[in-house]
Amino acid sequence: MSGIRILEVAEHTFVPAAAGILADWGAEVIKVEHVERGDAMRGLGTTAGIPVGAGGVNILLEHANRGKRSIGLDLTRPEGLDVLHKLVATCDVFLTNKLPAVRTKLHIDVDDIRAHNPDIVYVRGTGYGSHGPDIDQGGYDSLAYWARAGNALSVKPPEIDYVPNQPAPALGDSIGAMFIAGGISAALLHRERTGEAKVVDVSLLATGMWAMSAAIGMGLQTGVEWGQLLYSMGGPKNPLVGNFRTSDDKWLSFSMLQGFAYWPDMCRVLGHPEWIDDPRFGDAQTLFENGEEARALVAGVLASKPSAYWQVELRKQRGQWAPIQTTLEVAEDPMAEANGYVLEAQSSAGTPFKLVTTPVQFDDEPCPPGRSPDFNEHGDDILRELGLDEDAIIALKIAGAVA
pLDDT tens across 113-156, in order? 999 999 999 999 999 999 999 999 999 999 999 999 999 998 88
Fold of 5-211+338-399: Rossmann fold (3.40.50)
- The residue ranges of every structural domain in the chain are 5-211+338-399, 241-318
| Average pLDDT over the chain, rounded to an integer | 95
Task: Flag whether pLDDT at 52 surpasses 60.
Answer: yes
Q: Over the chain, what HEC string results? A: CCCCEEEEECCCCHHHHHHHHHHHCCCEEEEEEECCCCCHHHHHHHHCCCCCCHHHCCHHHHHHHCCCEEEEECCCCHHHHHHHHHHHCCCCEEEECCCHHHHHHHCCCHHHHHCCCCCCEEEEEECCCCCCCCCCCCCCHHHHHHHHCCHHHHCCCCCCCCCCCCCCCCHHHHHHHHHHHHHHHHHHHHHHHHCCCCEEEEEHHHHHHHHCHHHHHHHHHHCCCHHHHHHHCCCCCCCCEEEEECCCCCEEEEECCCHHHHHHHHHHHCCCHHHHHCHHHCCHHHHHHCHHHHHHHHHHHHCCCCHHHHHHHHHHCCCCEEEECCHHHHHCCHHHHHHCCEEEEECCCCCEEEEECCCCCECCECCCCCCCCCCCCCHHHHHHHCCCCHHHHHHHHHHCCEC
pTM equals 0.94
Average the pLDDT over 362-379 and give the result: 96
- pLDDT classification of 49: cutoffs 50, 70, 90: low
Q: What is the pLDDT of residue 228?
A: 64
- pLDDT classification of 48: cutoffs 50, 70, 90: low
Q: What is the pLDDT of residue 45?
A: 61
Task: Flag whether pLDDT at 265 surpasses 90.
Answer: yes
The highest-level CATH class for domain 241-318 is alpha beta
